[in-house]
DNA sequence: TTCTATTGTTACAAATGGAGACAATAATAG
DNA sequence: CTATTATTGTCTCCATTTGTAACAATAGAA
């Protein structure tokens, strides 16, 4: 696989995606592991010269997850000088098995536009990119060290997600179409990093009139079966 | 004045500043009027190749207002294809009195990072840039038409400002160091675009314990003199 | 001294949110 | 079939917050 050619991309400009999923009560994000180095990074990409920014991000998301129609939100653009670390980037590119000229475009300084995505963990079909051995889920609570300033990017994404949680009612995007109140509460708790009161949460969300109540879910457990809900269109 | 040279700037990348001020009960922003065309635009600029993004914005603010230490917040990055309008840009550049080559860098597609700034209207010393006849304050309520997608940028700035108003307690940045409760309320009302209840507003802000109360302000009017307040450090 | 406009504070009502109580119920154990 | 257990949906009580109005204080004018 040859190194990407500069001519089709906007120079100095990239995006990074913080892709959130929810499974087994934990909030998780997708990370890529680069060849040979083992370095971990956010899935990202470049913007084609004739492509909308948001389209570029959606293209990247589709390539990694196989999904379209993903909830997507821009949260910050990172543009400090400290971001540029050509030596690290050169190592990554060389580990891919190619000689890298000193003036190769990917070694330049990059401005990165951060987006976060919320999707249904179960629907994802993971595919690594050309520079990576693997892409996998990592718990947000116990993230390993990331390359470049990607730790900072994740923290900013998480902060924005928390601030937007109530205002934009986005918690449901991490769940399947139908879910129980308890599952929805778990999503809120995982995002906020704190326990919520069951009764207050239920009262609050029902009072918003954004949920539709469906049939009960019989799990086989010996207790009252919860209703399934979905978000109104 | 020669046209700017591409070699010192990051190509395809710009910033636009929505600079808010408050005067006579009205929220205002700064707009530049381009030579000959009369077209109105947000003050913006380009990022030097060895310069932090935020520094570039601060440099631009200083050049237009003479102020440093301005409250500044990034709110969105605009990257759709529709932004590119080389014909308009060419007209602007030619009105500046120079032949413009077809491949001149400023005619390219640009990604623009939007920042809003809050400052004390009285402290500002306005200076137009090389392409502009003038820079002046315009009431947000009755903005004229702007060039490119600058209307959309202003609306997004205003939306973010409103969302951040309570959470970040930023209203005071539009006022002098010391102000009356009534002035602060007027700022909130101008930003939110709605009247607030005097007593609730006063109680709310005092209960936050972020204001320091100083001497009374005797205006010469025939009624009780209000206290002056400042924000605690 | 009285009057007017505005300010700071208080009082009461309404809405909201925290905390626990309680009945309903699905499956299991006897 | 009945009792038990765990969890759910709802209700009540209470504290806090916010909407609304009332009221006293007061700087200057009449």
CA nearest neighbour of A154 among A135, A170, A136, A141: A141
Q: Which pLDDT score is estimated for A32?
A: 96
In chain A, the percentage of residues whose pLDDT exceeds 70 is 99
Helix (H, G, I), strand (E, B) or coil at A149: coil
> Among positive and negative, which fits the CA dihedral A156, A157, A158, A163?
positive
| Region A194-204 average pLDDT | 95
Q: Is the pLDDT confidence value at A2 over 90?
A: no
H/E stretch holding B88 reads helix B86-95
Pairing of strands B44-48, B9-23: antiparallel
Q: List the single residue in B13, B51, B80 with the smallest CB-CB distance to A13.
A: B13
pLDDT of chain B along its 233 residues, tens only? Answer: 667 777 899 999 999 999 999 999 999 999 999 988 989 999 999 999 999 999 999 999 999 999 999 999 999 999 999 999 999 999 999 988 888 899 999 999 999 999 999 999 999 999 998 888 799 999 999 999 999 999 999 999 999 999 999 999 898 899 999 999 999 999 999 999 999 999 999 999 999 999 999 999 898 888 999 999 999 98
Whether the pLDDT of residue A1 is over 70: the answer is: no
Distance, in Å, from the CA atom of B4 to the CA atom of B12, rounded to the nearest integer, reads 14
Q: Which of residues 172-211 of B touch strand D (CB under 7 A)?
A: 197, 199-200, 203-204, 207
Structure tokens at A198: 């069951």
What is the CA A178 to C1' C30 distance in angstroms?
37
Q: How many residues does chain A have?
A: 233
Distance A217 CA to C17 C1' (A): 29
- Domains of chain A (ranges; CATH) run 6-163 (3.90.79.10), 175-231 (1.10.10.10)
Q: Spell out where A49-190 has E strands.
A: 71-78, 111-118, 132-139, 179-180
What nucleotides of chain C have any atom within 7 angstroms of a protein Cβ?
Answer: 3-11, 17-21, 24-28
Nearest CA to the C1' of D21 belongs to which residue?
Answer: B199
Q: B181-192 vs B150-168: helix axis angle to the nearest 10?
A: 140
**B19 C-beta neighbours (distance < 10 Å), count:** 26
CB atoms within 10 A of CB A193: 11
* Mean predicted confidence (pLDDT) in A19-25: 96
Give the least confident one: A116-120, A129-133, A175-179: A129-133
Q: What is the pLDDT of residue B36?
A: 84
CB contact under 8 Å between B80 and A167, yes or no, is no
Backbone φ and ψ for A196, nearest 5 degrees, come out as -115, 160
pLDDT digits (tens, 9 = 90+) for A27-67: 999 999 998 898 999 999 999 999 999 999 999 999 999 99
The alpha carbon of B165 is separated from its chain's Cα centroid by a whole number of angstroms, namely 15
Task: State pLDDT tens for residues A142-162.
Answer: 999 999 999 999 999 999 999
SS3 B204: helix
Beta-strand pair B26-34/B132-139: antiparallel
Average pLDDT, chain A: 94
pLDDT of residue B7: 80
Structure tokens that stand for A139 in this block? 């718990």
For residue B27, give every residue at least 6 positions away whose Cβ sits within 8 Å of its Cβ, in sequence order, or none.
B20, B21, B139, B140, B141, B174, B187, B190, B191
Q: Which residues contact B94 (CB under 8 A, 6 or more apart)?
A: B100
Q: Which nucleotide is nearest to B219 (CA to C1')?
A: D27
- Among left, alpha and beta (phi > 0; psi -120 to 50; other), residue B220 is left
**Residue in chain B lying closest to A164 (CA):** B163
Q: What is the mean pLDDT of residues A173-192?
A: 97
Q: Smallest CA–C1' separation from A219: which nucleotide?
A: C26
pTM (2 d.p.): 0.94
| CA dihedral sign, ordered A33, A34, A37, A40 | negative
In B81-126, beta strands by DSSP E: 111-118
d(CA A186, CA A163): 17
Q: Given 3-state DSSP classes, what are the helix, strand and coil percentages for chain A, each rounded to the nearest 5?
A: 35, 30, 35
Which among B76, B77, B86 is the top mutation candidate for probing chain A, defined by the most A β-carbons within 10 Å of its own β-carbon? B77
User: For residue B80, which residues of chain A lie inside 8 Å, CB to CB?
Assistant: 52-54
For chain A, strand residue ranges (E) read 9-23, 26-34, 40-41, 44-48, 71-78, 111-118, 132-139, 179-180, 211-216, 227-231
The mean pLDDT value for A116-135 works out to: 93
Using a 7 Å cut-off to protein CB atoms, list the covered nucleotides of chain D.
4-12, 18-22, 25-29
Both tokens of A180, joined, read 């129980």
């Amino acid at each position: 696989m040859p190194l990407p050619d500069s001519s089709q991309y906007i120079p100095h400009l990239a995006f990074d995606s913080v892709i959130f999923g929810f499974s087994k009560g934990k909030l998780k994000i997708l990370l890529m592991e680069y060849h040979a180095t083992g370095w971990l990074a956010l899935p990202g990409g470049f913007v084609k010269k004739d492509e909308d920014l948001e389209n570029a991000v959606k293209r990247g998301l589709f390539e990694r997850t196989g999904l379209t129609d993903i909830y997507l939100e821009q949260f910050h653009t990172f543009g400090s000088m400290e971001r540029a670390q050509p030596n690290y980037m050169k190592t990554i590119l060389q580990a891919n098995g190619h000689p890298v000229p000193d003036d190769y475009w990917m070694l330049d300084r990059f401005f990165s536009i951060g987006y976060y995505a919320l999707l249904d963990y179960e629907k994802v079909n993971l595919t690594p990119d050309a520079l990576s051995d693997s892409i996998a889920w990592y718990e947000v609570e116990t993230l390993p060290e990331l390359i470049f300033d990607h730790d900072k990017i994740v923290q900013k994404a998480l902060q924005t997600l928390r601030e937007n949680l109530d205002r934009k009612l986005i918690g449901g995007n991490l769940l399947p179409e139908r879910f129980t109140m308890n599952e929805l509460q778990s999503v809120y708790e995982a995002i906020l990093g704190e326990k919520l009161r069951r009764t207050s949460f239920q009262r609050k969300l029902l009072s918003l009139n954004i949920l539709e109540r469906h049939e009960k879910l019989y799990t086989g457990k010996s207790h009252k079966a919860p209703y399934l809900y979905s978000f109104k269109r």
